[in-house]
Chains A and B, each alone.
Chain A
Amino acid sequence: MQFVLNGKPTTLSANPAARLIDVLREECLLTGVKEGCGEGECGACTVLIDGEPVCSCIIPAGQVEGTEVVTIEGLGGNHPLQHLFMNEVGAQCGICTPGMIMAAMKLGDAPTLDDIKTALAGNLCRCTGYSAIYRAVLKWKGMPEPDTAGEMSVME
């Protein structure tokens, strides 16, 4: 299996049927990739394949052949959105955080709150109630917060 992982050309001899999350965590030691549900529902395991967010818990590792994979570690640990998640308290227990941040990477310029909710609809958070997460992402993109508190708290 040959692919580019966090910018580095990588060759692995893992079983192509293994779950990508297990290969990333156990063989590549990238434990920033979290497992919440193991069934595609919660998004904690989100990584980027060729720039697109996917759930690594339901992807056969063999499917990354020839692609570029980025995990939370690939952001380098000093990404502005990581700091904003801390400053805005968008992370409490932190299990959902790497997946949230990776899913947010796909957002374009000047996203609306609705765009952000759509981009993060596949990511569940049991702690924050989401508004701090949306605030962090809005600030990162230089977007103002909507003034109605209600809008910020619900996830459709």
Chain B
Amino acid sequence: MRAAVSALDMRRATSLEEALKIIRDEKRMPVAGATDVYVAMNFGTLVPKQFLDIWALDELRTISSRGDTLVIGALTSYTSLIQSQLVADRVPMLVQASRLVGGVQIQNRGTLGGNIANGSPAADGVPVLAAVDAIVVLRSADAERRVSINEYYTGYRQTMMRADELIVAIEISPVEGKQWFRKVGTRAAQAISKVVMAAVRAPSPRIAFGSVAATVVRARETERVLSSGGSIEDAAETLGRELKPIDDVRSTAEYRRRVSVNLLRRFWADTE
């Protein structure tokens, strides 16, 4: 490990109330499954040395329905998402996405809350949440607020979450229409996505992409073309203009644009 262990300071919270008080009073970075935090630390790219371990907060690990809203605790692991009948019934594409995150070891520790908070534009869970307009529930010691996942990111790895807040849950309203998810990477397991698309086919289609911009994005103009009765050809052309992907080590902008357009066509054909 690049960081000297003696310089690291980790406190462990055993209840949500305690955790929220600690991050109100002390500047600490939350650690859930650590699958992003400890990779960054081993890499030497992580600055904070003060951590708050929230892994023990079992109250954030429940999956339930409240009325017709699906409520997923922030500490829910991919393994739990894969095993949940409720999630399979309501948001089957979240199960699909979870199966493609890392290998079993990562699925056992990686959490949905961590995937959101980490803020990577390549996070596989986030396009799914964006396509179903999920709500992120943030709580501090004195208040709770709800933010749409589609307003949650303010820039590359920048989010609305304050340092004294934790993500406690993700809420998803009933999803009408066929769900569709594809991850394009170098191989199914372990690979960071080159392009991810999650979408819902309904009179007003909802289409989200990961890895094509600084944040996960909804393709709003393309959605408008389709919901106003435009052809898939028009939609494909609009998407090609709308997305502004970048070149990086995993892929080129042009490749990503073409794959995205192909995915859109595939989605449309598959969900007819």
Contact = CB atoms under 8 A, between A and B. Distances in A.
Q: Do A and B come from one complex?
A: yes
A15 interface: yes
A139 B8 CA distance: 45
A129 B74 CA distance: 38
B147 interface: no
Interface in B1-42: 1, 5-6, 8-10, 12, 31, 34-35, 38-39, 42
Among A59, A106, A118, A155, the most chain B Cβ lie within 10 Å of the Cβ of A59
B190 A59 contact: no
A17 B109 contact: no
From A16, A17, A43, A59, name the one whose CB has the most chain B CB atoms within 10 angstroms.
A17
A17 B5 contact: yes
B38 A60 contact: yes
B104 A17 contact: no
A39 B43 contact: yes
Contact of B55 (A46, A63, A103, A123): A63
A102 B175 CA distance: 39
Interface stretch (A49-57, A81-89, A143-151): A49-57
Contacts of A60: 10, 31, 34, 38, 51, 53
Contact of A123 (B1, B38, B103): B103
Given A16-B53, A46-B105, A40 B35 contact: yes
Interface string A39-81: 1110100100000111101111011010000000000000000
Contacts of B56: 63, 65
A58 B42 contact: yes
Contact of A62 (B12, B106, B109): B12
A15 B6 contact: yes
B124 to A, nearest CB: 15
Interface of A: 15-19, 22, 38-41, 43, 46, 52-55, 57-60, 62-63, 65, 103, 106, 118-123, 155-156
Q: Please give me the 5 A-B residue pairs with the lowest Cβ-Cβ distance, nearest first.
A: A122-B103, A121-B189, A17-B8, A17-B10, A58-B38
16 contacts: A15-B8, A18-B8, A39-B39, A39-B42, A39-B43, A40-B39, A43-B105, A53-B104, A55-B109, A58-B109, A59-B109, A60-B31, A60-B51, A121-B189, A122-B106, A123-B103
Interface of B: 1, 5-6, 8-10, 12, 31, 34-35, 38-39, 42-43, 51, 53, 55-56, 79, 102-106, 108-109, 187-190
